[in-house]
Chain A
Amino acid sequence: MSNKKSAKRFVLVWILLPFGIYLVVATIWLLVGVASGTALPRLVSQGRMLAVLLWVYYGCLVASWLLKSLAPRGLVISRRELSSYFYSPIAYVAMTLFLLATGFLFWSDFQPGQIAGMRSLFEWMVWLLVFVIPVLSMGLMSQEWSTGTVETLMTAPLSEIDVIMGKFLGSLCFFLVLLAPTVVYVILLGAYSRPSFDVGPIVSGYVGIVLVGALFIAIGLFCSSLTRSQVVAAVAAAAILFIVTIIPKWASEKATLPKFWRTVADQLVFRRYADFSRGVLDTGHLVFFIAATAVFLFLSVKVLESRRWK
């Protein structure tokens, strides 16, 4: 009985209320626009931005529900994982190198007469991630194996999914921290571009880079769960990332590539990512990145479980 009641309450507060707020704000915004007779502010222009916010909110709701039911203790682990990054020098080194490189790339495009966009920066960022993410993810599981802490972890009342999801989310959070300073470039663009620059491709570019980062971290986590050695984990992850990202890019630049291999190359990371940096949010690409990330997370869970039947 009380369960039913709380479910009702949940729907009311967390699902219907935000929708109501959305309707009210959108209406007020429209009325204000009509009354003042000026061009409508961006927020509701063609009803887009506010709706996107609402969908992002619902997305987060579903994600948190999934996390709660799949990995109830996952967040505890991700918190630890995130804070442990800030204790290790290697994370700072990776961060510094990443920011230096993106800063240089941005600076070389940020010239009078150039297009006010970040497209080439986003494309180069994927190159950087192929080498930066293995460094960030190499210790995730391999350190647990080599120090034996996995034993304390797996004899606490939590499941393998908790551990893998926790590590993945912690690492993803650190990746977001790594990415956060690049927002400065957007602000610079906003300040210096005339007329004002197009926000769309930059937002979609960020969505793309986060998805790519998530996939790369999942691959790195998978490699890390296979071995005790961090070096082996990093090299293996970098090799896989190279194969799924950079080789297809090189191959597709060759005009003589057979049709079959061209099709294959187009399915892999780089071509799909390139669409994001152009401002295209293709659901096919979204599904590809989310599904591929899920596959590698699933494999990592299985590797962690494999000690049971080895």
Chain B
Amino acid sequence: MISVSQLSKVFGQTVAVDRISFEVASGQIVGFLGPNGAGKSTTLRMLTCYLPPTSGTATVAGFDIFHQSRDVRQKLGYLPENCPLYSEMKVEEYLDFRGRLRGLDRGERQSRLGYVIDRCWLTQVRRKTISHLSKGYRQRVGLADVLLHNPPVLVLDEPTIGLDPGQIRETRKLIRELGGKHTVILSTHILPEVEAVCDRAIVIAGGRIVAQGTPEELRASRRMQARVLVECRAPADELQMALQRVSGVREVEVVSDGTADKQYTTAALRAKEGYDIREEVARTVIQRGWPLREIRLERATLEEFFVQVTANQAMATTEGGAA
């Protein structure tokens, strides 16, 4: 549905987006993940034809974003960051205006208006002035606008920013339900959002794609293998030596060496691929007579992954700059 190849955007001296390429299949929900200033919004603005790319191309629903901009815009709904609305208008009035802008005729406009107001839980406020609405309702009005002309592609820039937890949950549920019928791209710097909502994540940092895949794939990627944490009363170096010899253990790292916490030492182990080392480790520790307090498999969160890849990227760019 969306295909991006070698897309770049340069503002003066700064490269905001650097030759990114990706594909989004029809009906997928894709999360665009990255720290602030990573180039998420710029990419989305290029996809929605607000900004033209410096180089590279992209097609949305089969139309080129540069040469067939009007067709692309007819096919997508875009919710910009912070959800700008005409605050002096009433909700219904605003949606009606947006419908006219998209060239919906009267009958179509009325039926779609009813549908989106119902869909985005706006029935109570449909006759209220937008400036009197809470942030959560404003966001829903924005979403309703995006859905108004029933576009195959939805582009949402940070759709849950500034909402309270209840509203965030509702919004995510709505987006979740929209997947399948619509192709959704949403940007966020909130990780649980990607895990909760998206079929696939594209991690972007410094204007480049640093990783992509399903949340599970990202979590399972080599760098982020699960660790086994062992906590027992033993001298740190001896523990390390003993655990190193357990079959299947790739590396052992002493996290805390017992001086702080009454001689309890914590070690973090990484297994070779395909091994579950927990039983062996427990047996070894017991055999050596060390009192074992805890042994636990630590699953990597996407958060750690995110911090790691984006930190790497930042490091790479500073090194590049120094050289």
Contacts and interface: CB of A to CB of B under 8 A. Distances in A.
A76 B100 CA distance: 7
A149 B86 contact: yes
A308 B52 contact: yes
A151 interface: yes
A84 B130 CA distance: 13
B78 A147 contact: no
Interface of A is mostly: helix
In order of increasing CB-CB distance, the 9 nearest A-B pairs are: A148-B84, A87-B88, A157-B73, A76-B100, A151-B80, A157-B74, A149-B84, A155-B78, A155-B48
Given A156-B101, A157-B74, A151 B88 contact: no
A34 interface: no
B102 interface: yes
Nearest to B48: A155
27 contacts: A76-B100, A80-B86, A80-B97, A84-B89, A87-B88, A87-B89, A147-B84, A148-B80, A148-B81, A148-B82, A149-B85, A151-B84, A152-B78, A152-B85, A152-B98, A154-B49, A154-B50, A156-B73, A157-B70, A157-B71, A157-B101, A157-B103, A158-B101, A159-B70, A307-B50, A307-B51, A308-B51
Contacts of B52: 308-309
Contacts of A158: 101
Interface in B24-53: 45, 48-52
A302 interface: no
A159 B74 CA distance: 12
Contacts, number: 65
Contacts of B76: 155
Interface residues of B, number: 28
Nearest to A159: B70
B80 A152 contact: yes
B145 interface: yes
Interface residues of A, number: 23
A147 B145 CA distance: 17
Contact of A76 (B50, B70, B78, B97): B97
B15 to A, nearest CB: 16
B101 A73 contact: yes
A84 B86 contact: yes
B47 to A, nearest CB: 10
B98 A151 contact: no
A112 B180 CA distance: 79
Contacts of B48: 155
A155 B65 CA distance: 11
Interface in B50-74: 50-52, 70-71, 73-74
Contacts of B100: 73, 76
A79 B89 CA distance: 12
A42 B49 CA distance: 57
A131 to B, nearest CB: 24
Interface string A141-177: 0000001110111111111000000000000000000
Given A80-B97, A84-B88, A157-B70, A152 B102 contact: no
Contacts of A151: 45, 50, 78, 80, 84
Contacts of B70: 157, 159
Given A84-B89, A148-B82, A149-B86, A155 B97 contact: no
B82 to A, nearest CB: 6
B191 to A, nearest CB: 26
Given A87-B88, A88-B88, A156-B102, 15 more contacts: A73-B101, A87-B89, A148-B82, A148-B84, A151-B50, A153-B101, A154-B49, A154-B50, A155-B50, A155-B76, A156-B73, A157-B102, A157-B103, A158-B101, A307-B50
A148 B80 CA distance: 8
A282 to B, nearest CB: 40
